Amino acid sequence: MKKIVFFDIDGTLLDHEKNLPESTKKAIDLLKKNDVFVAIATGRAPFMFEGLREALEIDSYVSFNGQFVVFENEVIYENPLNEKELKKLFEHAKTNDHPLVFMNEKTMKASVKHHPYIEKSLGSLNFPHPDDDDTFYVNRMMYQSLLFCEDQHEKLYFSNYPHFDFIRWHPYSVDVLPKGGSKAEGIKKMIERLGFELKDVYAFGDGLNDLDMLKAVGTGVAMGNGVPEAKELADLITSDVSNDGIWNGLKELQLI
């Protein structure tokens, strides 16, 4: 029976310096040779990992934590944020000097010209501070937003927006997603399209936005560098991303 493996990007495919380990590239090539379907499942927007898709020759992915799903370069699922609620969040956050970044599949725009939280958070992904356009979300589909605040301020928002889920990914930044949207939901759309059974679905991840995915698939694999919550949920814990984590995990699963 054909199998599929989904890979998170940051801390999973890419190491702590945002490089693609040689052993990971080799492992992905071997997977394909073994007739295993390979896909990406990430919180990133599609424009943020074009180079990686090209390097690994992967054209199926779950992006924006499940809100924009592409199968062999064809969009098969979209779940945008509610524009009215996003406007409400933007105006509320503005009063607290908490900026937003609005994201669609092609680009991102900041609600302010410059903010150190935006610079530091996106800088950790090797992305520059986006240009500002505080009306970018109007009459456009936004699949994810980023809210920039420290964790002691996040409670100002979490219980006030029933249409949204908030997931922290950086000390200064929180993903804003449609309620119930997750990598797990995006993966379900992909495997429905492919007709795979859940037992033949594997996923590798390391972060808080991977928990639903690791729980939902047939076999969830946490990276050695993963958060404790991911390791608790996983069926298997592999080595650190910088210590051949992907290669070792796939070997242990006998997929390569």
Active site residues: 8
Give CA–CA dist 62/45, Å, rounded. 9
**How far is it between the farthest Cα atoms of the chain?**
55
Give CA–CA dist 134/191, Å, rounded. 37
Q: What is the DSSP string of 122-141?
A: HHTTT-PPPPB-TTTTTTS-
φ, ψ for residue 5, nearest 5 deg: -125, 130
245-252 and 22-33 helices cross at what angle (nearest 10)? 30
